[in-house]
Amino acid sequence: MKIYQKKSVIARVIYAFLAIFLLLVGFSLVFASSADFIKSNQILSDQKNSQEQLGVKPLKIFIPSIDRTLDISDGYVVDNRWTVSETGVSHLTTSAVPGNRGNAVLYGHNRDEVLGKLWKAQNNDLVYVILSDGSITKYQIFERREVEPSQVEILNNVGDSRLTIYTCSGFLDSARFVIVGKLI
């Protein structure tokens, strides 16, 4: 009887340590992400809201290589938190409007019905963005890579006209998968 009780006590202690370990890992992931949000928010606050300047907004994105047509909603960074559409993609309103000079940034969830298959898109594939003025912009993918959340240079404004699309990837969404296309 005493041997069974000792094993039971040992099992409880092991479970308690395991629970504490998992909580610490979870908290460290949250705090690391918060630091990344702060860093990216500092970069974004330096960029002007090109949507407000032009009055044109992106409405839909079509990525033929992964058979996705998705609505585009406005995306904001509020209190170092990114607003994300649940069913489509979000356009970071502080980035360029697709079709104009600069880096137009779109992002969305890594779910099958949203951008879960983005990794299948290859260099030279085409991406189309439909704008509120009825025009269609066409991009050709020239770069695809996985980055750390802290690598916020993918959000930087650039001198050319490009489209950056990204979603979470990796274990527990610890990385970001990015594709970049040039306007053609």
Give 17-32 pLDDT, tens digit per residue: 777 877 776 656 555 5
Residue 4 lies in a domain: no
Alpha helices in 46-144 (DSSP H): 50-54
| Cα-trace Rg, the chain | 21
Residue 176 lies in a domain: yes
Residue 29 lies in a domain: no
Residue 158 lies in a domain: yes
Residues 68-115 pLDDT 10s = 999 999 999 888 888 999 999 999 999 999 999 999 999 999 999 999
CB 106 within 8 A of CB 90: yes
Q: b or e along 1-22 (b: 16 or more beta carbons within 10 Å of the residue's beta carbon)?
A: eeeeeeeeeeeeeeeeeeeeee
Full domain range(s) for residue 100:
43-183
**d(C-alpha 84, C-alpha 9), whole Å:** 45
Q: Residue 162: helix, strand or coil by DSSP?
A: strand
Burial of 163 (0-12, 13-18, 19+ CB in 10 A): buried
CATH number of the domain residue 101 falls in: 2.40.260.10
Residue 83 lies in a domain: yes
Residue 9 lies in a domain: no
Q: Could you give the count of Cα atoms lying within 13 Å of 63 in the half-sphere of its Cβ?
A: 28
Per cent of the chain over pLDDT 90 is: 60
Number of domains in the chain: 1
Tokens encoding 26: 């979870």
Residue 124 lies in a domain: yes
Residue 168 lies in a domain: yes
Please state the pTM of the whole predicted model. 0.72
